[in-house]
Amino acid sequence: MEGLESVYTLVAGSISCTQDAVVCFVHWAIIKNGYKCLGSGDEPGSADRRSELLPANWNNNKELYTLRYQANDGTSHYLLKATTVDANLVIFNLMNPSTQQDSALTVDVRDHVDAEWLHSFHHVYKDADSLTEKVTTQLLSAPEEPSPRGSKAKTNASADGRDEEEEGRWRRREVEHDPLRIPTRHTRHEVQPQWPDPFAVGGADLDPFNPQGGGMTVDPRHTMPSRFDPSSGIPGAILPPGAVPPGARFDPYGPPEPEPDHLPPPGFD
């Protein structure tokens, strides 16, 4: 933990809570990875200077800490914000303003700071190696400069174009085969349903020679032979002989002649 003791000792008198201690630690880890602190706040100020130390007013706001950093080579600038969620939770966000890339780290201060030893560097931090690794891998790995334009970028662009074109074809195919979609037009390759002619209803009943038969209750061509000929007239009826054409469908008037196996009426002798 080279350098951490010096950084902490210089600000130990202003540290009043566990959040201050963990922000001081994250600051040291960023400096260790090749950065310098420019100052506090979102905008540059007249008192800004490149330093490994924390600025004078770094912890004035206990709910939101804001610090600005610059890479040692002077090419990249970063904005660090530490938001206090509650007494035990601090969320760090590091953003590169030029690329709008950012990263985040959530720290439970109870895992890394002993609140009873805030003014003793040798006892205040717990599991410092784990916190250092989190800052390096989660907070400092994401904010990077944009990739240069070149053949690789063009290749990725063309690949993205092909992916978008392929995705568009699949979307159109899903729409065309959507079972809930109502088609707006028919192509020549589609088979149209064969709907029955509504004016043909009852045609079989009107045609006595229809081979399919009709819907009448009595069909003289498909029932048992009758004992009488309708064309000869019916005794006691109003139809004279010849009134019913041969082969025509005819429902006889009244009940047919009694058969031996018919049930006799009550009192019949």
Q: What CATH number did the domain enclosing 66 receive? A: 3.40.1000.30
User: What's residue 47's pLDDT?
Assistant: 74
Report pTM: 0.54
Parent domain of 27: 4-139
> Which of 22, 14, 10 lies closest to 82, judged by CA?
22
Query: How far apart are alpha carbons 59 and 94 in whole angstroms?
Result: 17
Q: Is residue 71 part of a domain?
A: yes
- What is the CB neighbour count within 10 angstroms for residue 234? 18
Query: Chain centroid to CA 84: how far?
Result: 32
**220 in a domain, yes or no?**
no
Is 92 in a helix, a strand, or coil?
strand
- DSSP-assigned beta bridge partners for residue 69: 37, 78
pLDDT, tens digit only, all 269 positions of the chain: 789 999 999 999 999 999 999 999 999 999 999 999 999 998 887 778 899 999 988 999 999 999 999 998 888 899 999 999 988 999 999 999 888 899 999 999 999 999 999 989 999 999 999 999 999 999 988 665 444 444 344 445 444 555 667 666 666 665 555 555 565 555 555 555 565 665 666 666 666 566 555 555 455 544 444 455 555 555 555 566 666 666 666 565 556 666 666 677 777 66
Residue 139: DSSP 8-state: I
Q: What CA–CA distance (Å, rounded) separates 266 from 222?
A: 33
User: Is residue 108 in some structural domain?
Assistant: yes
| 187 found inside a domain | no
**Whole-number Å distance between alpha carbons of 124 and 102:** 29
What pLDDT is stored for residue 105 in this prediction? 95
Q: What is the pLDDT of residue 184?
A: 57
For residue 213, is it within any domain? no
CB 78 within 8 A of CB 70: yes
Burial class (CB in 10 A: 0-12, 13-18, 19+), 241: exposed
Would you say 221 and 182 are in contact if contact means Cβ atoms under 8 Å apart? Answer: no
Domain presence at residue 22 = yes
Q: According to the model, what pLDDT value does residue 147 have?
A: 40
94 forms beta bridges with 80, 103
Specify if 39 maps to a domain: yes
Give the per-residue pLDDT at 27.
97
Is 260 within the bounds of a domain?
A: no
Number of domains present in the structure of the chain: 1
Instruction: Give residue 43's pLDDT.
Output: 85
Contact 59, 21 (CB under 8 A): no
